[in-house]
Amino acid sequence: MINACKKKIKTILIIAGGSGGHVFPGLSVARYLMNHGYKVVWLGSKENIESQLVPRHGIDIKFIYMKGWRGKNIYKKLVTLLFLMFLSIYQALKIIKYWKPDIALSMGGYVAGPSSLAVVLCRIPLIIHEQNRVIGLTNRYLSFFAAKIFQGFPDVIANAITLGNPLRHTILSIPKPINRWKYRTGPIRVLVMGGSNGAYIFNKVVPKIFEQLFSKLIIWHQSGEKDFERVLKAYRKTKQKINYKITPFIDDIAQAYSWADVVISRSGALTVSEIIYVGLPAIFVPFPYHKDKQQYWNALPLMKLGSAIIVEQEKFTSDYISRVLESWNRKTLLVMAKRARSLITPNATKLVAQTIIQYLKEKKY
Ligand SMILES: CC(=O)N[C@H]1[C@@H](OP(=O)(O)OP(=O)(O)OC[C@H]2O[C@@H](n3ccc(=O)[nH]c3=O)[C@H](O)[C@@H]2O)O[C@H](CO)[C@@H](O)[C@@H]1O
């Protein structure tokens, strides 16, 4: 009798893995849902960023084995992919049957395909979220099975709801550019970000830019774990002891954004959304190996607005970027920062979480 009266806490399964661009927005939504009395569980993969980050937020995470399939031999690739696909769907099915979630939100990454198919096979409603300005292959197929489709930017998927990309609450509380810039003097502060794992091109070229402009710049360079020592050596070789800081991964990215005058960055969907929200001028170098050029499309509206420039990777040389940086001062940068903020959208974390909550209420799951 007592049990029958007890209200069951609804469980939301989040599927996201591989890189920050999928995991951080998932964590933002998870935090909101947990603060509103919902239980969140997570499916990811063991080798990636989510295995460390998610448990730190008090969320139960389980893993499936799924990898990317780059390689030259097409048959080998296909057989490996099929084998991995079946294995990971089987693993996901077992986990889902154990957790019995009421709904699943797939934020993408390698784990998204098999885990979301397992969700559909278990007849659990699936919501997918596309962060980029072009739809990825996995989401293209999953969209046929999804109960709802959310998108970060408008006009990407015909029947999707545009809710924006969920950002971390620490980023949402950064003051506006005009207030950040108010008492700022001294060299221009350049934040270098290569997506979740650092970018080799920045690691190779930016120390040379620093060598050319060291009296005019302070650099905070996110190198990725793999290249950290090499990048540190490259800066030390410049014989300058001050005005640079190298970090493999910046945990408190809000602090870095608040500090920066300008960002040199890849244009992953989340970084672009964060730069818009915070209001920061940028030099974007899109990841050049995506067939759909998603990072170029992510950055394009900012270039059109005049708050950023897009530099293709082969044109990212120390001479060219030094010239660009020298042509900017704090006054020009503030104008650019304000332009970026004109693309700001409402709080996507709240919108995504509230739409899920509403769906659960309407369907009485
Ligand atoms: C190479 C590749 O396939 N990249 C894709 C990947 O990007 P990836 O995850 O690398 O990049 P995103 O820009 O989307 O997200 C990076 C996230 O990590 C955070 N961060 C980064 C560095 C750091 O030191 N600290 C930190 O917190 C950023 O603030 C951001 O929240 O997923 C994105 C979202 O689908 C896509 O748009 C990208 O094209």
Identify whether residues 328 and 224 lie together within a single domain. yes
d(CA 38, CA 333): 42
Identify whether residues 267 and 162 lie together within a single domain. no
Only one residue has tokens 């980023």, namely 171
How many structural domains comprise the chain? 2
The whole-number pLDDT of residue 5 equals 46
* 230 labelled binding-site residue: no
The whole-number pLDDT of residue 241 equals 80
Which atom belonging to ligand 1 lies closest to the Cα atom of 131?
Answer: 35
Q: Which residues contact 82 (CB under 8 A, 6 or more apart)?
A: none
Count of H helices and E strands in the chain? 16, 13
Ligand 1 neighbourhood includes 21 CB (under 6 angstroms)? yes
Identify whether residues 237 and 176 lie together within a single domain. yes
Which residue segment(s) compose the domain that 136 sits in?
2-167+347-363
The whole-number pLDDT of residue 2 equals 44
Residue 181 C-alpha to ligand 1 middle, in angstroms?
A: 26
Identify whether residues 238 and 282 lie together within a single domain. yes
CA-only gyration radius of the chain, Å: 22
d(CA 213, CA 291): 35
Identify whether residues 270 and 352 lie together within a single domain. no
Ligand 1 neighbourhood includes 50 CB (under 6 angstroms)? no
d(CA 290, CA 150): 22
Identify whether residues 267 and 136 lie together within a single domain. no
CATH code at position 33: 3.40.50.2000
The preferred substitution site among 228, 271, 278 for testing ligand 1, maximizing ligand atoms within 8 Å of CB, is 271
Is 326 strand, coil or helix? helix
What is the DSSP secondary-structure string of 255-289? HHHHH-SEEEE---HHHHHHHHHHT--EEE---TT
* 81 labelled binding-site residue: no
* 295 labelled binding-site residue: yes
Identify whether residues 163 and 229 lie together within a single domain. no
User: CA nearest 310: which of 273, 272, 343?
Assistant: 272
Residue 85 C-alpha to ligand 1 middle, in angstroms?
A: 24
Identify whether residues 304 and 351 lie together within a single domain. no
Phi, psi of 127 (to 5 degrees): -115, 135
> What end-to-end distance do the CA atoms of the chain give, in Å?
21
Identify whether residues 65 and 32 lie together within a single domain. yes
Q: Which stretches in the chain have pLDDT values below 70?
A: 1-7, 68-72, 364-365
d(CA 170, CA 173): 5
Identify whether residues 30 and 153 lie together within a single domain. yes
Ligand 1 neighbourhood includes 24 CB (under 6 angstroms)? yes
Identify whether residues 129 and 181 lie together within a single domain. no
Identify whether residues 30 and 162 lie together within a single domain. yes
* 283 labelled binding-site residue: no
